[in-house]
Amino acid sequence: MIALDNGFDEAVGIVADARASAVRLCAATGFVERYSGTTSDGAFEILIGHPEAARGAIRLVQFAGPVAERMRDGAQAWDTGGIFDINVRALAGIGPLHTAFGAAGFVAHAPVTEWDFGPVSVREVVESDADGLCIALMERLRPALTGYEGLGGPASWVFNSTQIVPDFDVARALYRDALGWQVVQETQGFAAIDESGANCMGLPLSLAPKIPMQIGIYHPQGRMEGSVEVIAFGVRGHDFSATCVAPNRGWAALRFPVSDLAGFAGKARAGGCAVSGPEAFVWAPYGAGARVVAVTAWGARLEAVCL
């Protein structure tokens, strides 16, 4: 386990076939299986993660019965609701990693795009699979990436997760003001950095330079490791918040180890979340404890766990 109150430890995804998804994702990322078993409600789950990192894992959950619909079925990248994606860093170049994801059944929303995010320049591609799992691959160009020295494999552990929100101020008020997390970075501009219209979200090239966009990244300690990113586009799309619930497929939750469940619950409630718990919870393979679930106004599920 990682330190408490330090962002999310794992992303939970619901899929049609957990074993098949784990095989594909491990082949693309170099992740390995850490645990598999059955949950208290009869679902089968597999935990995969980077072999050299304790955090940033992916938990794949398969419910019994007929395959459910996707949480964001038919969604475009600018549509709101639930958890949009998770992010990993391309450690050995984004080209080979993008190719590996394509071989694993992922389809990109747009070609690999080079863009500036505040003082940081990156190459990025956003990929989705048939279950609706969306993963952004990022290669840092400038400044030089630090904190991953000596980490092997083609991809890093999961370091960030994005939510597309209808109201940036409401989302910022939850993470920054109510939960008290620190600002890692905030920026306001347009969906494309120049008149070429190039963007990684699949927005039309002729429109992207004119579409307003706000981005904020937040974390309890101000780090981009287990951080939450919110993006608000200045266009109206579909709202999928109502369908971002289990057993529908897609990114179902971010799971946070915390030291104060009651404190988290009170802050999340003050920030406009629907809060349930605490309830007894087994976080396999780590142990038994308690969990509080907070669902944001846009349908993103945050699970705080105390063991």
pLDDT in tens, 74-102: 999 999 999 999 999 999 999 999 999 99
7 conformational bin, left if phi > 0, alpha if psi -120 to 50, beta if neither: left
CB count within 10 Å of CB 80 equals 24
Residue 241 pLDDT: 97
Report the predicted TM-score, pTM, of the whole model to 2 decimal places: 0.96
Report d(CA 259, CA 238) in Å as an integer. 37
Residue 118 pLDDT: 72
Strand order from edge to edge, sheet including 44-49 = 32-38, 44-49, 57-62, 10-14, 250-257, 301-306, 287-295, 274-283
Residue 146 pLDDT: 87
> Cis bond leading into 119, ω under 30°?
no
Q: What is the CATH number of the domain that holds 107?
A: 3.10.180.10
Contact 81, 244 (CB under 8 A): yes
Residue 2 pLDDT: 58
Residue 144 pLDDT: 85
46-68 pLDDT, tens per residue? Answer: 999 999 999 999 999 999 999 99
In a shared domain, residues 131 and 203: yes
H-helix or E-strand containing 29? helix 18-29
Residue 115 pLDDT: 84
Residues of the chain under the 70 pLDDT cut: 1-2
Whether 105 is in a domain gets the answer: yes
The identity of residue 101, as a single letter, is F
**Which range of residues forms the domain containing residue 168?**
85-233
In a shared domain, residues 46 and 104: no
